[in-house]
Amino acid sequence: MKHVIKALTLALAASLLMAATAFAAPVKIGLMCPLTGKWASEGQDMRNIVTLLADELNKAGGINGNKVELVVEDDGGDPRTAALAAQKLTTSGVIAAIGTYGSAVTEASQSIYDEAGVVQIATGSTAVRLTEKGLKRFLRTAPRDDEQGMVAAKLIKAKGYKAVALLHDNSSYAKGLADETKALLDKAGTKIVFYDALTPGERDYTAILTKLKAANPDIIFCTGYYPEVGMLLRQKMEMKWNVPMMGGDAANHADLVKISGKEAAKGYFFLSPPGPQDLDAPAAKSMLTAYKAKYNGVPGSVWSVLAGDAFNVIVEAVKSTGKADSAAIADYLKTKLKNYPGFTGQISFNEKGDRVGDLYRVYEVNANGEFILQP
Amino acid sequence: MEEFFQQLTNGLAVGGIYALIALGYTMVYGVLKLINFAHGDLFTIGAYLGFTLFTAFGLSGMVAGPGAVVLVLLMVVGLVALIGFLLERVAYRPLRSSSRLSAVVSALGASIFFQNAVMLIYGAKFQVYPNDIRPSYVLSIMGIDVPLVRIMMIAASLALMLALYWFTQRTRIGAAIRATAIDQGAAKLMGIDVNRVISLVFMIGPALGGVAGVMVGLYYGQVDFTMGWVYGLKAFTAAILGGIGNIPGAMVGGLLLGVIEALGSAYISIAWKDAIAFLVLILILIIRPTGLLGERVADKI
């Protein structure tokens, strides 16, 4: 009992103190991110970006004269820790929470925010099911896993390939992408001449390549990860077979070229969200300059930049509706916000809370083994 | 038909590597009736040692291509043989008179030790052999494209296997190894130093595994610390397939497994390749429980 009284007194004192320092009631925005654990570098980038934006906003006068107060909680990249973090954030009176990175981690916190009626905007969680639950106040700035398949099918059609070979590695991610692409290509009438899975972790894929060659495709779309893709590229070159090859974002790793060699990787292209250095929106350029000045480095991936986008759309919603109210924010974001100029391109949301518009870009490997963003 | 022969050469190249590693399993089993589960990791160590010798010491810059490869192979043979010798001394010899299960547990422990040691020393990321060592020439024989390295690899595997076969069949030491395999007590009575023979076996087997490691590194380019697991498992299968404890059996088993895998993925399904290979193994063991060329029943692991 003593502890409870102590805690209550402390909380009271703290809230009084805050009330005294702020001119008006501050708008509280929560950020839940993995500051520790295996994704710590992502989480720290997320915190850095959102802190930077909040500081800039407050310096410029806040939202309609109200200061923004950021409440950061660590989810440790772990579903159980995330549940605790979500409870802390919802009880601290935030109107909206940004986060988090991993899909499973986000999923563990979804119902807590939903029950508390707090808007949640996930930033790196791409699993399809998150927005299929009909949660009214859940949104995400990240693309869905099935969007990549859509973009891949579109790209294959745009490049005019008629006979497509699909190769995955039986992981749920790679198989999902291959299936998604296959379904769309079937619908569009593009011929799938080959569909099979390789065994990841092996060295010799010549048997697969020989079989692929007999199927005579115009393009090989291998949805697997970079070690296997690198070996395939290399052994394909050794067979003197010049068929083009493409991949998904699991191929986006600098070691790809190390494994395949520059010569074999040349001309290989893959889909991926743009890296922070390739973001071409003017807002992104100025934000990255400020980020560099403050933290002496650039964010490691695009996923943390999406946290910045989430912060900005929340601020935009509060500004436009004039209300620091969760229901109003969710409604505004899902129905009224159209083509907001974000860091990662234009942002709109659909009824489910998914981001509309593609984030995926095409990268091609040049003769020096560098990944070049294609226009 | 072209595709068939192409797949056949693909299978033989992979099978040659399996066979080289399988020799190490089978030799140790023949003499000690022990499955050396650390053998796959000795293969990994060979691959990494080769990587270090090629890159860190800049051998490829100092000696011309083929010379450097031979030199590195010799050094790796020496080093991995030494590790194999120490492994037997530390992990197996103290347990020789205890139950077979203890030795198996010790082998598994050694495997985990080696795998993690490699990871801690070299890191968990892929390492890449220098690209300029291997010849990039591709032979075209009647529409079948075979990279020259592949042929060299198959030839080197076959040469090593035949040399080993000759060594065990035609030399005095080879006879001592065979005698020890048949009956250790009787061999001792005949004046054979059984401990030295066992040490020698633990040097030859790992050395062959090490050579296979360097060959895989040279040909496929990438090495990582878990590679010994997949290859070790396949080579173990190959040894059982051919009849464990039997040297020609390991060669036949390895080549056969490689060819079954290649043809299975060509004519049935790539995803089912391993399932097909193991199905064949099961069928062969049902019909011939001792493996294709095996004489003894593999009753203990």
Q: How many CB atoms lie within 10 A of CB A366?
A: 13
Q: What type of residue sits at position A43?
A: G
B296 falls within a domain: no
Q: Which pLDDT score, from 0 to 100, does residue A21 have?
A: 40
**Domain check: are A135 and A62 in the same one?**
yes
Residue B277 identity (one-letter amino acid): A
Instruction: Assess B11–A contact: CB distance below 8 Å, yes or no.
Output: yes
Distance CA A116, CA A137 (A): 10
A370 falls within a domain: no
Q: Which chain A residues have a beta carbon less than 8 Å from that of B278?
A: none
pLDDT in tens, chain A (375 residues): 556 556 555 555 555 444 444 446 789 999 999 998 878 888 999 999 999 999 999 999 888 888 999 999 999 889 999 999 999 999 999 999 998 888 889 999 999 999 999 999 999 888 888 999 999 999 999 988 888 898 999 999 999 999 999 999 888 788 888 998 999 999 989 999 999 999 888 888 988 999 999 899 999 999 988 889 999 999 998 888 899 999 988 888 878 888 888 889 999 999 988 888 888 888 899 999 999 999 988 888 888 899 999 999 999 999 999 888 999 999 999 999 999 999 988 899 999 999 987 788 899 999 998 889 887
Is it true that the peptide bond before A100 is cis, omega within 30 degrees of 0? Answer: yes
Q: Are residues A51 and A168 in the same domain?
A: no
Please report which confidence band the pLDDT of residue B281 belongs to, taking 50, 70 and 90 as the band edges: confident
Alpha-carbon span A55 to A287, nearest angstrom: 12
Return the exposure string of B248-275: e unless at least 16 CB atoms fall within 10 Å of the residue's CB, then b.
Answer: bbbbbbbbbbbbbbbbbbbeeebbebbe
Contacts of B278 (CB under 8 A, 6+ apart): B237
Q: Classify residue A366: in a domain, yes or no.
A: no
Looking at the fold, whether A293 and A324 belong to one and the same domain comes out as yes
Residues A260 and A285 in one domain: no
Per-residue model confidence (pLDDT) at position A23: 45
For residue B90, is pLDDT > 80?
yes
One domain for residues A52 and A114: yes
Task: Tell me the β-bridge partners of A70.
Answer: A29
Q: Which residues of A touch B (CB under 8 A)?
A: 170, 196-199, 201-204, 206-208, 210-211, 213-214, 227, 230-231, 234, 238-240, 255, 258-259, 261
Beta strand A27-33 with A96-98 is parallel
Q: Using CB atoms, pick whichever of B3, B147, B221 lies closest to residue A210.
A: B3
Q: Is the pLDDT of residue B297 over 60?
A: no
Q: Can you list the pairs that B283-286 forms with residues at least 24 positions away whose Cβ atoms lie under 8 Å? A: B284/B241, B285/B240
Cβ-proximal residues to A141 (8 Å cutoff; 6+ apart), any chain? A121, A122, A123, A306, A307, A309, A310, A313, A342, A344, A347, A355
- A-chain CB neighbours of B221 within 8 Å are 231, 234, 259, 261
B273 lies within 8 A of chain A by CB = yes
Interface probe for A, chosen from B43, B125, B126, B219 (most Cβ of A below 10 Å), is: B126
pLDDT of residue A8: 56
Beta strands in chain A (DSSP E): 27-33, 68-74, 96-98, 119-122, 138-140, 163-168, 191-197, 219-222, 245-247, 269-272, 340-342, 345-349, 355-356, 361-365, 371-373
- A23 within some domain: yes
Question: Do A189 and A249 have their domain in common?
Answer: yes
In contact, B260 and B277? CB cutoff 8 Å: yes
Beta-carbon count within 10 A of A93 CB: 15
Segments forming the whole domain that contains residue B245: 2-287
- Classify residue A368: in a domain, yes or no: no
The single-letter code of the amino acid at A62 is G
For residue B298, being part of any structural domain is answered with: no
Q: Are A142 and A159 in contact (CB under 8 A)?
A: no
Per-window interface: B 274-293 vs A, CB < 8 A: 274
Smallest CA-to-CA distance from A170 within B44, B272, B248 is with B272
- CB contact under 8 Å between B265 and A211, yes or no, is yes
Q: Shortest CA distance to A49 belongs to which of A31, A67, A28, A62?
A: A31
- Last residue within a domain, chosen from A248, A272, A296: A272
Phi (first) and psi of residue B101, to 5 degrees: -60, -40
Pairing of strands A361-365, A371-373: antiparallel
Domain count, chain A: 2
Residue B292 counted as domain residue: no
SS3 sequence of B57-101: CCHHHHCCHHHHHHHHHHHHHHHHHHHHHHHHHHHHHHHCCCCHH
Asked if residue A136 and residue A24 are part of one domain, the reply reads: yes
Q: DSSP character for B289?
A: T
Residues A77 and A205 in one domain: no
DSSP E strands in A176-315: the ranges are 191-197, 219-222, 245-247, 269-272
User: What is the pLDDT at residue A22?
Assistant: 40
Phi/psi of residue A270, nearest 5 degrees: -145, 160
Q: Hey, what are A278's tokens?
A: 């390739």
Q: Within a domain: residue B299? A: no
Residue A365 lies in a domain: no
| Averaged pLDDT score across all residues of chain B | 87
Task: Flag whether the ipTM exceeds 0.90.
Answer: no
Tell me the pLDDT tens digit for each residue of B243-257: 888 888 999 999 999
Tell me which residues of chain B, numbers 134 to 153, contact chain A at a CB-CB cutoff of 8 Å: 136, 138, 145, 147
- pLDDT of A307 reads 95
- The percent of residues in chain B predicted with pLDDT above 90, rounded, is 44
Neighbours of A9 (CB within 10 A): 10
Residue A142 has which token pair? Answer: 């990240």
Q: Indicate if A240 and A286 belong to the same structural domain.
A: no
Residue B97 pLDDT grade (very low, low, confident, very high; cuts 50, 70, 90) = confident
Which pLDDT score is estimated for B245?
Answer: 83
Q: Is B197 a residue whose pLDDT tops 80?
A: yes
B107-164: pLDDT as tens digits: 999 999 999 999 889 887 788 888 777 776 777 777 777 888 888 888 988 899 899 9
Which chain B residue lies closest to A212 (C-alpha atoms)?
Answer: B266
Of the candidates B10, B220, B271, the beta carbon closest to that of A231 is on B220
Tell me which H or E stretch contains B222.
strand B222-223
- Please indicate, yes or no, if residue A229 is contained in any of the structural domains: yes
> Are residues A138 and A177 part of one domain?
no
φ, ψ at A245 (rounded to 5°):
-135, 145
Q: What is the pLDDT of residue A106?
A: 93
Handedness of CA B190, B194, B200, B201 (dihedral sign): positive
User: Which pair of structure tokens corresponds to residue B139?
Assistant: 């032979």
Residues A162-199, buried b or exposed e (16+ Cβ, 10 A)?
A: eebbbbbbeeebbbbbbbbbbebbeeeebebbbbbbbb
Residue A369 inside a domain? The answer is no
Total number of domains constituting chain B: 1
Query: Which structural domain, as residue segments, surrounds residue A93?
Result: 2-143+279-356
Q: How far apart are CA A352 and CA B294, in angstroms?
A: 64
**Same domain (yes/no): A151, A264:** yes
Q: Assign residue A61 the CATH number of its domain.
A: 3.40.50.2300
Answer for the pair A221, A156: CB distance below 8 angstroms, yes or no.
yes
Cβ <8 Å between A202 and B230: yes
Asked if pLDDT for residue B298 goes beyond 70, the answer is no
Chain A residue with CA closest to B266: the answer is A211
| Alpha-carbon gap, residue A299 to A284, rounded angstroms | 12
Residues in B touching A170 (Cβ below 8 Å): 271
Residue B190 in tokens: 């005949």
Residues A27 and A69 in one domain: yes
B102 in a domain, yes or no?
A: yes
